Structure 1
Amino acid sequence: MKLPLHERERVIIKTREHSRVLRQPVGAFLVLTALCTFSLGYLSRDDLSDWLASNANVWMIVAVVLWAALVLIWSVIPWARWLRSRIVLTTERIMFRPTYNDGKLQSVGLFTVRDLVAHSKAKNAMTRAGTLDIVLNQGYVRLSHVPSVQYFRSLAMEAMANLRSSQSMAHTETTNSEGMGA
């Protein structure tokens, strides 16, 4: 994915949502596959009743088509959405493409951020995944399923501090150079 970066902007970290969001699609795939193989195995038996044995091939096709449709809806589409999700921290902003979005990359400038609040539950102690709230002047933006949310927050806070200090140094140099020529 090509990122639209500004002239002196650099990427600090690029990630996607934590892979735990794929638990439900993988579970759905396994359950659907087990149900489909059971039904195909049942329909291939020799001791079926007459009304079921006469249409067993049709029911097998229906089972496979239903399996394919449900796997597409409950497993493949969520996996594709997860692949498209992005969370990028640069030297000037935080860019993100949420899972349920029309595909547009959104961004929040680090100058507009008042605070970053990281939430993680005790049960996520091993994965360290959690939610990052980007507090702005007029509300907040919530990023869910951020991997190593505390580490991401510390990198973002450091980038904000570096950005503000470089801007104040540039402002000081401009002010001093204007007074020297007089």
Structure 2
Amino acid sequence: MKLPLHERERVIIKSREHSRVLRQPIGAFLILTALCTFSIGYLSRDDLSDWLANNADVWMIVTLVLWAVLVIIWSIVPWVRWMRSLIVLTNERIMFRSTYSQGQLQSVGLFTVRDLVAYAKQNNVLTRAGTLDIVMNQGFVRIAHVPSVPYFRSLAMEAMTNLRSNHSVAHTETNSSEEMGS
């Protein structure tokens, strides 16, 4: 996917939501598959009651169709949403699209950011995934499931510092050139 970048904007880091959001869809797939195979195995037995043995083929088809529908709803759709999720840090803004957004890529300019607060649970020592709160004057924006959230925060803070220092240098150069022309 091509990102809508400004003229001098450069990507620092590009990622998607942490893969832990796929635990529930994978678990649902495994449980549904186990239930489906058990049901088909049970329906293929020879010692079924007469009313069930007469319609065993129909019940097998119903089981497979139900399995397919539930796998699409509970496993494939969340996986596709995760594949579309995006978290991008550039030298001018933070862009993100979460799994539950309507598909629009949202962005927050680094000039409007007052602070970045990273939350990571203690049991996520290995992945260090967590939540990033972008604090602005009007409120905050929360980005969930950021992989290695302390590292992402440090990169974003560094980008904010560089952006503000470059802006102040450009601003003072503009002011001094205007004074010379007077």
TM-score (norm 1): 0.99
Number of aligned residue pairs: 182
CA distance in 1, matches of 2:137, 2:176: 31
Residue type of the partner of 2:128?
A: R
Residue type of the partner of 2:37?
A: T
2:108 is matched with: 108
Q: Which runs of 5+ in 1 are unaligned?
A: none
Question: 1:180, CA displacement in angstroms?
Answer: 2.1
1:166 is matched with: 166
CA distance in 1, matches of 2:61, 2:52: 14
The reply on whether 1:128 has 2:125 as its aligned counterpart is no
Residue type of the partner of 2:78?
A: P
1:49 is matched with: 49
CA distance in 1, matches of 2:57, 2:28: 25
CA distance in 1, matches of 2:133, 2:181: 46
The reply on whether 1:139 has 2:139 as its aligned counterpart is yes
- Aligned-residue RMSD, C-alpha: 0.6
Identity of aligned residues (%): 79
Question: 1:170, CA displacement in angstroms?
Answer: 0.2
SS at match of 1:3: coil
Question: 1:175, CA displacement in angstroms?
Answer: 1.0
1:81 is matched with: 81
TM-score (norm 2): 0.99
Residue type of the partner of 2:162?
A: N
Q: Give the 4+ runs in structure 1 shifted more than 6 A.
A: none
2:20 is matched with: 20
Deviations 1:14-44 (A, max 9, x none): 0000000000000000000000000001101
